[in-house]
């Protein structure tokens, strides 16, 4: 009888362990253009924010219980009064944010590089509205906060060095002079500073090498928060610049933040990118996760050797899977999902969501996709290398020069578009075109009968393939365009590709509008 109880106890213990703790996960944990992750923990909840640059609303915020399954719960910057993006250039606007929690309040600090610099917003509810910005004196990008009791410290990186000062996080008043505390290990662009305290020592985590193939994460420590800081002899603690990772499908690892789970385990979130079609990354920099071993009085070690993988075969926290994400919409909800973004500060009267009839109406304006402005545009991030996107739409009240359709959009000087137009003879034509730097060209023009048309783009490793249909069943292939021309290596900048809907005109006054009835995004991998 006793032996049976022992066997039953062992079985139940084993069952409990293997049903509560997971074994392995897939990177990236937040795919697509979600760079510069910062994380904080409150109870058993994790919150994470990313950069947003010229897109609005700004600073997406995610929630997770297990660090692997993330759900977007909103944005930190939802009002033009919080974030002025008027006519800013591509990859301007909102740079790397940091999220922290202290005494019942969440704080998000970031930089509007096209505005007045560093600022803080705060809230009691991270899924709700955040405060108006509080502007700070200390310059540099990538600001971060560290709380110790009632004292708040600010770090940022003016002059290629990490600076520290004490501030009031509610008023923004600087309470001590800015002091240089570490220049890193010699890599260019020492940035992304975060301070942690462990075993009586202050640890300063930064990124170096630029957010490219030479990116890396380094760390230093000190008995005093203002230094002097001693560099880890084993730096960098995360990088894919070395020989062992040269064939890794993940590159550019860097810009990290650390968090400790309730079970005592340490974890790192970082950015990286997935090259495709040679050494070109198109999706932008994404959010990745790595386990960290951080023994008492020791330096942190990331995933054993400072290298991460797409398939991470490591123990995890108890997994709490979310409902399978919905990538598609029939526009029959009262509000658009958090995945949708505008370009810069939008003119909201040009957008109408009719959930009862199931359409999104975009009013054409004389602001083109080529403009450093806010065209009538709504897009969502490309999150997968292989995907199919299809939208059903129609164009109304159109004259020569009015157009609407589907765009694969990197920025105002790099995008492909499949547009429904009405030409000078009154015929409706479907036009596939590109804008690449100073080059622009119409590739094909196809006569289209009256009524709705289905526009489609398929993403693959090397090409975007475009097609159309008048019945939603049989699609006619039009042409394919190279993904490399929309990559960071070709265009520079810090963003990723969006799949967008738009309506524009070359006419100063126009009454044209487009109704979009469906938007389907289907990952292939």
Catalytic residues: 36, 191
Gap between the Cα atoms of 112 and 372, Å rounded: 17
Residue 158: partners with Cβ closer than 8 Å, 6 or more residues away: 138, 139, 140, 178
List all residues 6 or more positions away from 245 whose beta carbon is below 8 Å from its beta carbon. 239, 251, 307
Positive or negative torsion for Cα 130, 382, 444, 482: positive
Neighbouring CB atoms inside 10 A of 504's CB total 28
Tokens of 354: 């009719």
Q: Angle at the Cα of 172 (from 169 to 174), degrees rounded to 5?
A: 100
Element containing residue 345 per DSSP (H, E): none
Distance (Å, whole) CA 218 – CA 228: 16
Angle at 202 between CA 209 and CA 165, to 5 degrees: 75
Closest by CA position to 236, among listed 332, 300, 313? 300
Q: Where are the beta strands (DSSP E) in 19-85?
A: 23-26, 38-42, 45-49, 55-56, 58-64, 71-77
SS3 38: strand
Long-range contacts of 270-275 (CB under 8 A, 24+ apart): 270/37, 270/217, 270/238, 270/308, 271/35, 271/36, 271/37, 271/211, 272/28, 272/215, 272/240, 272/308, 273/488, 274/28, 274/249, 274/250, 274/385, 275/249, 275/251
Question: To which residue do tokens 């971060």 refer?
Answer: 144
Evaluated on CA atoms 347, 349, 355, 357, the torsion sign reads negative
| Cα–Cα distance measured from residue 389 to residue 328, given in angstroms and rounded to the nearest whole number | 9
Residue 77: helix, strand or coil by DSSP? strand
> Do 126 and 106 touch, CB atoms closer than 8 A?
yes
Distance, CA of 336 to CA of 342 (rounded, Å): 11
Please give the Cα distance from 122 to 98 (Å, whole number).
12
């Amino acid at each position: 009888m006793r032996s049976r109880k022992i066997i039953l106890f062992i079985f139940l213990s084993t069952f409990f362990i293997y049903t509560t703790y997971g074994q392995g996960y897939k990177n990236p944990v937040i795919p697509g253009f979600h760079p510069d992750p910062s994380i904080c923990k409150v109870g058993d909840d994790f919150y994470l924010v990313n950069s947003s640059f010229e897109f609005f609303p700004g600073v997406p915020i995610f929630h997770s219980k297990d660090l692997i399954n993330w759900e977007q719960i909103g944005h930190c910057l939802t009002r033009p009064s919080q974030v002025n993006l008027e006519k800013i250039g591509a990859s301007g606007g909102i740079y790397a944010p940091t999220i922290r929690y202290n005494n019942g309040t969440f704080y998000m600090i970031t930089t509007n590089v096209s505005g007045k610099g560093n600022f803080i917003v705060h809230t009691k509810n991270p899924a709700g509205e955040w405060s108006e910005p509080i502007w700070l004196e200390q310059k540099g990008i990538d600001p971060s906060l560290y709380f110790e009791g009632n004292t708040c410290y600010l770090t940022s990186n003016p002059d290629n060095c990490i600076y520290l000062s004490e501030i009031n996080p509610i008023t923004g008043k600087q309470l001590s002079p800015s002091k240089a505390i570490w220049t890193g290990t010699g890599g260019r662009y020492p940035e992304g500073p975060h301070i942690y305290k462990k075993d009586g020592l202050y640890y300063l985590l930064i990124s170096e090498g630029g957010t490219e193939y030479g990116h890396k994460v380094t760390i230093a420590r000190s008995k005093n928060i203002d230094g002097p800081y001693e560099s880890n002899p084993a730096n960098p603690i995360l990088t894919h610049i070395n020989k062992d990772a040269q064939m890794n499908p993940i590159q550019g690892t860097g810009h990290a933040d650390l968090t400790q789970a309730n079970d005592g385990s340490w974890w790192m979130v970082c950015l990286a990118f997935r090259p495709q079609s040679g050494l070109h990354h198109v999706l932008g920099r994404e959010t990745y996760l790595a386990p960290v071993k951080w023994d008492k009085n020791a330096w942190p070690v990331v995933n054993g050797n400072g290298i991460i993988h797409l398939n991470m075969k490591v123990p995890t926290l108890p997994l709490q899977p979310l409902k399978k994400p919905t990538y598609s919409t029939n526009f029959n909800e009262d509000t658009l999902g958090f995945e949708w973004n505008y370009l810069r500060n939008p003119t909201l009267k040009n957008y109408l969501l009719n959930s009862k009839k199931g359409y999104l109406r975009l009013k054409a304006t004389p602001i083109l996709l080529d403009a450093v402005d806010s065209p009538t545009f709504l897009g969502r991030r490309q999150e997968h290398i292989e995907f199919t996107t299809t939208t059903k739409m129609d164009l109304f009240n159109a004259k020569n020069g009015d157009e609407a359709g589907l765009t694969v959009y990197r920025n105002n000087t790099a995008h492909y578009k499949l547009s429904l137009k009405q030409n000078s003879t009154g015929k409706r034509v479907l036009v596939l075109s590109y804008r690449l730097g100073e080059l622009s060209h119409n590739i094909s023009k196809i006569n289209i009968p009256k009524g709705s048309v289905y526009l489609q783009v398929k993403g693959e490793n090397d090409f975007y393939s475009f097609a159309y249909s008048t019945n939603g069943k049989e699609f006619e292939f039009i042409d394919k365009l190279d993904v490399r021309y929309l990559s960071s290596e070709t265009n520079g900048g810090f963003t990723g590709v969006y799949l967008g809907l738009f309506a524009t005109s070359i006419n100063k006054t126009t009454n044209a509008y487009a109704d979009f009835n469906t938007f389907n995004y289907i990952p292939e991998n």
